[in-house]
Chains A and B, each alone.
Chain A
């Protein structure tokens, strides 16, 4: 059998060698330990002895060529009795890397020092319910109960990636099709803060509510995650923000007349319905410009005056409440607002909202009138300062210039953060909304 001779490692740190001269040719016989070739490295030049006796059967690397340590350089056909024991003896110390089986023979020290982090913290059992600091923080910031998440980590552990995935899924699911087909902004009596709003500086622990009384015939419905988020946000807003409330009634007869007059033409021209919502949005934007304190956020020891005006629209879906945001609403025309709002509602129904659509709101408008209310008390979408509702438009007898007249009346209600503003500012703000809406008449241009 042929013995393969490898390029030896001649000295510490040497990784390759150059064949200087073959002292034996193919066909030459060579004795064990007889010089076989000269190898040059940058550390030493040395004659390399044959590892076994026999006949040189192949030369694999030519003189002058440089090859790595361990590369086969020639083969020697071994003469009968001198086979394996000698070759092992020779090869052992020259081999740079020991065989795999040797490498695997781990010592107790190795096991001890190569810190088995997983083992240490798991006690060998399931890691469900054991959360890393990152998971705890993300859960708290996003009001997610990590118990509800399937863990993909070791032993069922909920990883940071798992919770990040859950957060994005929650946003996705919250944008699935809305139940009500017609109105663009059907909403429940209160607005859910968008799931991405940042945590407030002074987080207050949520108090335990009164426990439910369960009778045998009652059905217990597990809480969907969106419901859970909404619940947590509502509790948080109501328990941390001192809500104050006020209402004004608005004579929208002019607006109603204008809409009646334009709606067919508008639908034909723009391809979307003309509703009261863009008029409300426009009025709110103008009021926010006039009273910038309402476009602000409470920040513990300071107040953040928001430069952009991004209006959130509380929107009902069959999974729950969601608040898509019209960015830079102050830069949009009435038609632009109509288009943006309907686009958002449509995409909310189709589950097509993006992260961007759901973040950055600075004030919220809630079209509660779509479900027929005339008076609501909305919960603030913290950390925003206020949320304003537009109630159902109802024809009522009112006194106009000391005469009773039938007018189209709409109530607007506002909840506001009394830490940031007082009734004076909030009242001024609502009055400006009212004046703007009342200023609309049949001759108002919508372009």
Chain B
């Protein structure tokens, strides 16, 4: 089995999917000749031609809007939004069109569409190259939102997203692109959307998280283990739909839940998870549900100390988890 970076896993999956299904096209800003600003699509235009891997005009609403039309007329588009921060011009197309088309047509139309977008901070991207935007979409029935936390999951979730008959937002943490490496099987496999994954089993506290934070949480769990605290880590992998069953299982198991996301605290998916646990697992709770999330400032600043102060780190997770374990 090949060891790949998170980025390579995504690229090789795109390649595999493009080879498998001639209806798949990829387009967006700089994805063609340049292979994307992060090089995710490097080499794909060369292999598959300009019709299938295409540089588009710099207009996000048009990228998503045309992908909706293309999907209706038989293609399986995988448009890229260069940075998740730039997705907002396309919000109307995603939320009001892609998400609602099946419902508003009473099942007559569907939009099989995968929107890829790098998100997240910690790479000096500042306000408009660092945002976590996932919860805007997680709010919307009709959309699915997946966020892989490992190269292995990156592949299986992307293939599953391509296979899905509904619009899927596939968010890639850009700090994970080259820092995360792991074994990725060559053959195609699907990770069901909406299924969480227990990345580590433990008994004292549960850490529920997703994306890059899974990696940080795993590091935190190692540090905590040395202190005699056994942390369980649930990687959500999808934030819409949520794996309610696994969330409740881990909450009931340990009675102490720490939810971690880089996205802002207020209105983050952590609030939804907290509500689910409060509704369905109250009598197993031994401590207030705790959230460790990006602060409620509009976005991540540029200068390193400010950026670092914003970012969730494994140290911050360790600290929060320790407090919770001691409660």
Q: Could you tell me which A residues sit within 8 Å of B by CB distance?
A: 9, 12-16, 42-43, 92-93, 95, 97-98, 102-103, 105-107, 109-110, 112-115, 117-118, 120-121, 132-137, 153-154, 157, 159-161
Chain B residue with Cβ nearest A109:
B295
Does residue B160 face the partner (Cβ distance < 8 Å to A)?
A: no
21 A-B interface contacts by CB (under 8 A): A16-B178, A42-B7, A43-B38, A43-B39, A102-B305, A103-B309, A105-B305, A110-B295, A113-B293, A114-B316, A115-B265, A115-B290, A115-B291, A117-B289, A117-B290, A118-B327, A120-B288, A133-B285, A136-B283, A154-B327, A160-B255
Give the interface segment out of B23-31, B99-107, B122-130, B151-159: B122-130
Chain A residue with Cβ nearest B324:
A117
**Chain A residues whose CB sits within 8 angstroms of the CB of B282 once the complex forms:** 133
Given A13-B174, A160-B255, decide whether A153 and B326 contact each other with a Cβ distance below 8 A: yes
Chain B residue with Cβ nearest A127:
B327
Chain A residue with Cβ nearest B266:
A113
Known: A13-B175, A113-B294, A134-B255. 5 other contacts (CB 8 A): A109-B296, A113-B293, A113-B295, A113-B296, A136-B283
Chain A residue with Cβ nearest B270:
A115
Number of interface residues of B (CB under 8 A): 45
Alpha-carbon separation in the docked complex, A136 to B178 (Å):
48
Chain A residue with Cβ nearest B284:
A134
| Of the residues A14, A103, A118, contact of B308 by C-beta under 8 Å | A103
Does residue B137 face the partner (Cβ distance < 8 Å to A)?
A: no
**Chain B residues whose CB sits within 8 angstroms of the CB of A118 once the complex forms:** 288, 323, 327
Alpha-carbon separation in the docked complex, A12 to B40 (Å):
13
Does residue B73 face the partner (Cβ distance < 8 Å to A)?
A: no
Does residue B1 face the partner (Cβ distance < 8 Å to A)?
A: no
Alpha-carbon separation in the docked complex, A5 to B151 (Å):
31
Does residue B75 face the partner (Cβ distance < 8 Å to A)?
A: no
**Chain A residues whose CB sits within 8 angstroms of the CB of B320 once the complex forms:** 114
Alpha-carbon separation in the docked complex, A161 to B327 (Å):
11
Alpha-carbon separation in the docked complex, A106 to B255 (Å):
29
Does A106 lie within 8 Å of B38, measured CB to CB?
Answer: no
Does residue B297 face the partner (Cβ distance < 8 Å to A)?
A: yes
Alpha-carbon separation in the docked complex, A42 to B179 (Å):
13
Min distance, Cβ A125 to any Cβ of chain B, angstroms: 15
Alpha-carbon separation in the docked complex, A107 to B324 (Å):
22
**Chain B residues whose CB sits within 8 angstroms of the CB of A120 once the complex forms:** 288
* B174-203 interface bits toward A, Cβ cutoff 8 Å, 1 = contact, 0 = none: 110111000000000000000000000000
Min distance, Cβ B1 to any Cβ of chain A, angstroms: 21
Alpha-carbon separation in the docked complex, A43 to B37 (Å):
8
Does A12 lie within 8 Å of B295, measured CB to CB?
Answer: no
Chain A residue with Cβ nearest B306:
A107
Alpha-carbon separation in the docked complex, A254 to B276 (Å):
67
B302-327 with Cβ < 8 A to chain A: 304-305, 307-309, 313, 316, 320, 323-324, 326-327
Does B284 lie within 8 Å of A121, measured CB to CB?
Answer: no
Given A106-B309, A115-B292, A117-B324, decide whether A159 and B178 contact each other with a Cβ distance below 8 A: no
**Chain B residues whose CB sits within 8 angstroms of the CB of A110 once the complex forms:** 295, 309
Alpha-carbon separation in the docked complex, A161 to B204 (Å):
9
**Chain B residues whose CB sits within 8 angstroms of the CB of A102 once the complex forms:** 304-305, 308
Closest 8 CB pairs of A and B: A160-B286, A102-B305, A12-B123, A98-B304, A117-B288, A109-B295, A113-B295, A13-B177
Q: Which of the listed residues A13, A105, A132, A135 has the most CB atoms from chain B within 10 Å of its own CB?
A: A13
Given A114-B292, A115-B290, decide whether A13 and B255 contact each other with a Cβ distance below 8 A: no
Does B327 lie within 8 Å of A153, measured CB to CB?
Answer: yes
**Chain A residues whose CB sits within 8 angstroms of the CB of B95 once the complex forms:** none
**Chain A residues whose CB sits within 8 angstroms of the CB of B288 once the complex forms:** 117-118, 120-121
Q: Which of the listed residues A93, A153, A159 has the most CB atoms from chain B within 10 Å of its own CB?
A: A159
Does residue B287 face the partner (Cβ distance < 8 Å to A)?
A: yes
